[in-house]
Amino acid sequence: MEDQGITGNIATVGYGLATLGPGVGLGVMIGQTQAATARQPEVSGQLFRNMIIGAGLIEVLGLLGLVAGIIL
């Protein structure tokens, strides 16, 4: 039996890990926004805007993982 290891860059695994946190964060935030919109549809515009702002702040964490994978 030939020795067949997985070849590639370990940074790929690192990026996979880096997406977990923002994934959870986005999930919680979007889910809560959905729940809040269902309760009070009249403020959905404001909620959506706040969600986008939050998405920007969370998303940068995942993108930082990508940067680290490329630079390091």
Partner 1 sequence: MCPRERILSAAALLPLVAAADDSAEFVAPGIEEFFPDMIFGQPDGWFAFDRLMLVRLVVVVVLLLLLWLGARRITLVPGRGQAVIELLVDFVRVQIAETIMGKEKAKPFLPMLTTIFVTILAMNLASVIPGLNIGGTARIGLPLLMALWVFLTYLAAGARTQGLGKYLRNELFPPGIPWPMYLIITPIEIAQVFVIRPATLALRLTVAMVAGHLMLVLAFAATHFLIFEASAAMAAFAPVTLLGGFFITVLEIFISALQAFIFTILSAVYLNFAVEEAH
Which positions lie near partner 1, rule CB under 8 A? 45-46, 49, 52-53, 55-57, 59-60, 63-64, 66-67, 70
Q: How far is the CB of 59 from partner 1 (least distance, A)?
A: 6
Q: How far is the CB of 67 from partner 1 (least distance, A)?
A: 6
Answer whether 29's CB lies under 8 Å from 55's CB: yes
- Output 35 or 53, the one with its CB closest to partner 1: 53
CA dist 38 and 54 (Å) reads 19
- Output 20 or 60, the one with its CB closest to partner 1: 60
Q: What share of the chain is helix, strand, coil (3-state, %, to 5)?
A: 85, 0, 15
Q: How far is the CB of 32 from partner 1 (least distance, A)?
A: 19
How distant is the alpha carbon of residue 34 from its chain centre? Answer: 17
